Amino acid sequence: PLGESSQNLHEFSISFRILLSVCLAGIIGCERSSKRHSAGLRTFILISLAMTIVMLLDIYLTSNGGVYLLSCTGIIGVAIISVHSLLLSSRSQIKGLTTAAGLWVSAIIGLTIGAG
């Protein structure tokens, strides 16, 4: 849908995707850290950046003859982090649901940007 140029991995494309991933995750992270939530700017940037790099690596390895699904591994990692943030509750109250959802969104943003 985005054209063939979006699937080409070259220095500008990779740099642009990484920068865009960091900027978009930074917006979410700034909002969360301004309200002093447990997952803030660095957490959201790291999740999105990791997923972008995983998707770029997945595309690179697939285009060179291999079949790899590293992005699935990344999603499993985010799931573990999200469940952990949900388990940090007190007095039978569910806390961290918005943080967990935000981490998932950050991961999906990273994967989408990495895919082009």
DSSP 25-72: HHHHHHHHHHTT-SS-HHHHHHHHHHHHHHHHHHHHHHHTT----HHH
For 4, other C-beta atoms within 10 Å of its C-beta total 7
pTM: 0.75
Q: Is residue 14 helix, strand or coil? A: helix
Tokens 């220095």, located at residue: 11
For 70-112, the pLDDT digits (tens) are 667 667 777 776 666 666 555 666 667 777 778 888 888 998 8
For 51, other C-beta atoms within 10 Å of its C-beta total 28
